[in-house]
Amino acid sequence: MNLRITVWDLDSGTLATQLTMIDRDLFVRIPTTEIDVLVHQKSSRNAPNLGAWIAFSHRIACLTVSEILAIRKLDMRTRIMARFINAAEKCFALGNFQSCRSILAGLQAPPIHRLRKSWSYLRTHHASRYESMEKLSKVYKSPRCSRYQRAWAAAERRPPCMPYVGHFLLKVLELNDSRGIQANFASSARKQSTVRIACASPLSVNNNVRSRDEENPTVPKRCLARRFLTTTLTRIRFTTRKNNVNETENNAWTLGQRYLARKFFRRWHIIRLASKARVANEKRSAKNMDSKTQRVLDVAAWLTDRQRSAQTYNFTLHSFAHEFLLKARYREDRENFFISLKLEPPT
């Protein structure tokens, strides 16, 4: 005997907890290597785990729309809408931003958004749920808005918590934006350098050579004095070298000690210079590290921390709710929109 499970068989708390468990399992499977794939390929085709997480979010949004439009009566339809809003609010209270956003995506879809009579009835008879819907819609307007940032900061202070996929993708897209900015800056810098090189014409080079020659008019006059000076210096060096040889013959042991000391000093100096050069190269390589690679590592660290936090979700498995959320049939947006037109024809 096959029983068809609907949203009427599940309360909002069960929906929230079971959605949290399913989204948790999908979220923790995303490896950090898929971040690098998204940044370089700019596509989720080779990121299957992230694609599965997005696909389940799309399924929940379409399932929400299908369940609401399956009810003909206005009062019963608004009751289902209120139940979904309550489930989204409980997901938000659990720190599960992903499931909350999936339900809101269904409630804000065009087939549901255009039901003016249903929303008017909901505002009149379920005022608290309508206010919750408005509050959540303002929070999820954009991950960059202050409301979302404050809500996410509060959730991080009270783990466990789990971001929604738009928040994660925003961090990845910011990497590509910064990459484009750096490319534009590099191209402009190259253009400026070419302009400076073009300004240095051969005429200016010839002028520099000519001015250098004009600055040294007395070079031939100094040749005789320079020759006399060099001969004098060579004689002085020869006499001092001869005196040093006589001294070293008398102090042979001292010369050997000096030789050993100089030898070990040079070896120690070479080792020290090599270590300094190695440290300098490491610092230089760290400074010259690609900023995109560094930011990818930062996003990977952020993702790992969030996955570690989400793993602490632990709710009892509800078999009926799991079967409904994973196997229930739903309709796509196009079909749902035509059903919405039949329920409330345009005026």
Question: Would you call 62 exposed, middle or buried from its count of C-beta atoms within 10 A (0-12, 13-18, 19+)?
Answer: buried
Per-residue pLDDT, 63: 95
Per-residue pLDDT, 221: 45
pLDDT, averaged across the chain: 79
Do the Cβ atoms of 333 and 109 come closer than 8 Å? yes
* Residue among 20, 6, 7 nearest 314 (CA): 20
Per-residue pLDDT, 299: 86
Q: Where are the beta strands (DSSP E) in the chain?
A: none
Residue 209 pLDDT level (bands cut at 50, 70, 90): very low
Residues in the chain: 347
Type and span of the H or E element at 72: none
- The 10 Å CB-count burial string (b at 16+, else e) for 259-283 is eeeeeeeeeeeeeeeeeeeeeeeee
pLDDT at 86 over 80: yes
Where does 6-73 have alpha helices with state H? Answer: 12-28, 33-41, 48-69
Type and span of the H or E element at 329: none
DSSP letter at 73 equals: S
Which SS3 state, helix, strand or coil, does residue 62 take? helix
Residue 162 has φ and ψ, to the nearest 5°, of -145, 125
Q: How far apart are CA 104 and CA 99, in angstroms?
A: 9
Do the Cβ atoms of 6 and 64 come closer than 8 Å? no
Q: Considering only residues 277 and 55, tell me which one the structure prediction assigns the higher pLDDT.
A: 55
Q: Distances in Å between the alpha carbon of 40 and those of 47, 184, 187?
A: 12, 18, 20
| Cis? peptide before 160, omega within 30° of 0 | yes
Give pLDDT tens digits for 92-106.
Answer: 999 999 999 999 999
What topology is assigned to 12-178+290-343 in CATH? Son of Sevenless (SoS) protein; Chain S, domain 2 (1.10.840)
Residue 78 pLDDT level (bands cut at 50, 70, 90): very high
Which SS3 state, helix, strand or coil, does residue 76 take? helix
Percent of the chain whose predicted confidence (pLDDT) is above 70? 72
| Residue that has been written with the tokens 């609401």 in this structure | 68
Residue 240 pLDDT level (bands cut at 50, 70, 90): low
Q: How distant is the alpha carbon of residue 107 from its chain centre?
A: 29
Q: How far apart are CA 124 and CA 127, in angstroms?
A: 6
Per-residue pLDDT, 2: 57
DSSP letter at 7 equals: G
Give pLDDT tens digits for 22-36.
Answer: 999 999 999 988 888
Q: How far apart are CA 145 and CA 161, in angstroms?
A: 19
Give pLDDT tens digits for 300-329.
Answer: 899 999 999 999 999 999 999 999 999 999
pLDDT at 219 over 60: no
Give pLDDT tens digits for 105-155.
Answer: 999 999 999 999 999 999 999 999 999 999 999 999 888 889 999 999 999
- Per-domain residue ranges of the chain: 12-178+290-343
Do the Cβ atoms of 37 and 47 come closer than 8 Å? yes
The region that residue 196 occupies, defined by phi over 0 for left and psi between -120 and 50 for alpha, beta otherwise, is alpha
- Stretch 204-230: mean pLDDT: 49
Residue 232 pLDDT level (bands cut at 50, 70, 90): low
Spatial neighbors of 17 by CB under 8 A, at least 6 apart, are 94, 315, 316, 318
Q: How far apart are CA 277 and CA 76, in angstroms?
A: 77
Do the Cβ atoms of 49 and 30 come closer than 8 Å? yes
Per-residue pLDDT, 39: 79
- Stretch 7-31: mean pLDDT: 94
Spatial neighbors of 68 by CB under 8 A, at least 6 apart, are 77, 80, 81, 84, 106, 112
